[in-house]
Structure 1
């Protein structure tokens, strides 16, 4: 028996796929995997099959035509094709997380492409696909052109490829935004943007914080559960930064959420890492992010007894302090932007 890949278009009507599979079965062709791609021309059926050694390409092509398939493509396949395409795409996405510069090789592997070219910004090509040519938008600027002879690309393949390009762009951006921080005692930390897969490490860090530290961060409210922590790691319109110690353990987390032209900053530093300049460094980076994003000001809410936090906010340029009982709302203007009489956002 030998592995083959078969792709053919059939009318997207009840029973037509079964006619094609029956035609293959009559010739002792065993279907190992199948995917159906919906297109304007009909349903594109993509098979991985095990066929008798005596069968050749023309035999399989004849079986497809007998089963009412058209625009057929038949080629020998490798054992790696036994993995279905979604599983294959997930494995390639995992590779990109560790090797974002391997995007060209990843696209070639995903799409069985003959060539992948990056084109600089300014190209007149619009994103999309036609036949064996695909153009993908690079979030960092420019585009990728992907070529193969046969078969023609499908909408599902285009969507998977564009998703992988965006994964690579996100990882590369995080690497660029990652910086080192040297503490006075010589300990080197890494400050970087958070991602969804940091949720477990951030939850573990919360568990290592004292009740007093958590009280200052959440102002007496409940510590967030896992689902809320995940939302905090990638806030809409904002950013979350982590500080990691040698070995990758998370020791501090700071977030900026934006509403209108105001951003609200929060910071949590594990007890053993406090009073070492870590919270100040994270808040300063959040403030810089707010300036780059065009926000007018950054607000923070803290308890009146949190002297260390208030001192840090003053050093960062806070110019307005509003007290409401035991709660103080602090405003730090962004450089070059006027601050109106907006009411600071309520702590969530």
Structure 2
């Protein structure tokens, strides 16, 4: 889990050159990203995979990789965070067909980039797209063990309450306009 960008020697977490958010590009996920998504598994702990997929999987499930081929970039969107040629984060929403103003969100960030602001940056970009597309509420299902995400939700939405389900908390979150996006982070600023 130390070498993220073999091409230019960018190293994360081992005392080498440490990339920052200014080095990350955010853009819509596309079908050419499937190999990057599979490689992303190498930088994810079993705990990170469990909290995203709610199961003990040793790698990103192939059914998930294939499901992203069906993005329509309107009702179902995913944004990719890239460091050089490596996928280091992905955020997605899929719209509720019965309530088109709502969408389920999910996010996955490689372990070396957790707690460094990448999740918030992805959420800001995804929120901007969602608002432009008429989505005003996000639903999020969070495993109780994922205390980092629980704290992040409480910081961003201090008044939100969760519904507890078996092993997880369900949040209904108002989609707020994103904060200012720092320069250099998103290609074309707000993808879409």
1:279 alignment partner, SS class: helix
Q: What is the aligned length?
A: 152
Is the CA contact (8 Å cut-off) linking 1:284 and 1:316 kept in structure 2? Answer: no
Distance (Å, rounded) in 2 between the aligned partners of 1:314 and 1:224: 29
Higher helix fraction: Structure 1 or Structure 2? 1
1:184 deviates by 8.6
TM-score (norm 2): 0.70
Give 3-state SS (helix, strand or coil) of 2:145's partner.
coil
What is aligned with 1:279? Answer: 119
CA RMSD, Structure 1 to Structure 2 (Å) = 2.4
Q: How does 1:20-39 map to 2 (within 5 A)?
A: none
Name the structure 2 match of 1:200.
35
Q: Quote the Cα distance in structure 1 between the aligned partners of 2:56 and 2:71.
A: 19
Q: Does 1:229 align with 2:65?
A: yes
TM-score by length of structure 1 reads 0.40
In 2: Cα distance, 1:201 partner to 1:273 partner: 16
Structure-1 separation of matches of 2:20 and 2:65: 31
Map 1:103-114; keep pairs closer than 5 Å. none
- Which residue of the partner structure matches residue 5 of structure 2? none
Q: Displaced runs of 4+ in structure 1, greater than 4 A? A: 183-187
5+ unaligned residues in a row in structure 1: which ranges? Answer: 1-182, 337-348
Distance 2:43 2:19 in 1: 23
Structure 2 CA distance for aligned equivalents of residues 334 and 187 of structure 1: 25
Higher relative contact order (CA 8 A, sep 6+): 2
Q: Does 1:309 align with 2:149?
A: yes
Give the Cα–Cα distance (whole angstroms) in 2 for the partners of residues 335 and 280 of structure 1. 12
Greater C-alpha radius of gyration: 1
CA spacing shift, 1:265–1:201, aligned 2, 3 Å: same
Q: Does 1:241 align with 2:76?
A: no
